[in-house]
Amino acid sequence: MTAMQTAPAAAGVRDDDAVRVRGLVKRYGGRTVVDGLDLDVRRGEVFALLGPNGAGKTTTVEVLEGVRTRDGGEVTVLGEDPARAGRAWRDRTGVVGQTTGAGNALTVRETLDHFARYHATPVPTAELLADVALAESAGTRVSRLSGGQRRRLEVALGIQGRPELLFLDEPTTGMDPVARRSFWGLVRGLRAAGTTVLLTTHYLDEAAELADRVGVLAAGRLVEVAPPAELGADLRRVATVRWTEDGAVREVVTREPAAVLRDLLAAHPAGEVPGLTVTRPDLEEVYLSLVGATATPEGEPR
């Protein structure tokens, strides 16, 4: 079994959604951070959770991981309630959080060898080092790693136990473009082997590249779930037609661009409409429209 192969599901576990959430509520003091959230993550898919700072992404993921209590709602992860699940359940999940958990004194190889003892069937260290592109840094102390290298070490620790479900909370923060692309390949390999991946990210291109489905979280609620190419389908039906007329740029926003184009071509018998363009919202524009003005100032709970 290689690093790209995941452990089989535990006996008696139904072949249903890996994650099922109904009415999740989490409050900090008098402020509701997650407000009646419903969420399903299918087994074997990569699901990306998007949202501005303060939307409740990290809080939601920590509830699913069983490291943060909830104030209301029902949560089932791999068939169990994470608030009450035991050691056997935790062995079936992998976590890559936003903060590093690796110590500084050991080398990269020593760190992986140490944590391998906590898993029943760990991925061999040599395979892990190759998978996260750290083979050349195996003898380097963790304290001397760059931010991107430490992030890759955290990813290695997250997949070391061959998890059925892997949580990735903003996993490529601090990585350079080459390391990000390498990491994307790793996630695709995990998905191909049947691992379910739930990731949060601020990078829309990352969600578009990796996710089977994307959920947009705003003000503690899930406002839409769809494949990346279908996100904001209603918004994408609106087109902007621009052209130049009498030296000025004209613009029409419409759901029927073909009719506008027919009128323009009829008004220009030569068939040339100066400066003519027809555009529809891209993923970033759709995302910004969905989250609207719900972003919370930096420093608020996530």
pLDDT digits (tens, 9 = 90+) for 166-183: 999 888 877 788 878 888
Amino acid at 92: R
The Cα–Cα gap between 59 and 41 comes to 17
Identify the CA nearest to 77 among candidates 53, 98, 58, 60: 60
pLDDT reported for residue 135: 93
Size (the chain), residues: 302
217-267 pLDDT per residue, tens? 988 888 889 998 888 777 777 888 899 988 899 888 888 888 888 888 888
Q: What pLDDT is attached to residue 11? A: 38
CATH class of the domain at 19-232: alpha beta
Confidence at residue 47, expressed as pLDDT on a 0 to 100 scale: 97
Mean pLDDT across 149-171: 90
**What confidence tier does 37 reach under pLDDT thresholds 50, 70, 90?**
very high
Comparison of pLDDT for 89 and 298, the residue scoring more:
89
Q: Is the model's pLDDT at 70 over the cut of 90? A: yes
Helices (H), the chain: 57-65, 87-90, 108-116, 125-131, 147-159, 177-192, 204-210, 233-236, 257-267, 283-291
Q: Taking 70 as the threshold, does the pLDDT of residue 41 lie above it? A: yes
Report the distance separating Cα 255 and Cα 221, nearest Å.
28
**What was the pLDDT predicted at 279?**
82
Give me the pLDDT at residue 52, please: 85
Q: What pLDDT is recorded for position 1?
A: 37
Residue with tokens 């390498």: 182
Q: Report the SS3 class of residue 36.
A: strand
Return the pLDDT at 128: 92
Model's pTM, two decimal places?
A: 0.77
pLDDT score for 60: 94
Average pLDDT, the chain: 85
User: Binning pLDDT at 50, 70 and 90, where does residue 83 land?
Assistant: very high
CA 171/CA 202 separation, integer angstroms: 10
Q: How many CB atoms lie within 10 A of CB 85?
A: 17
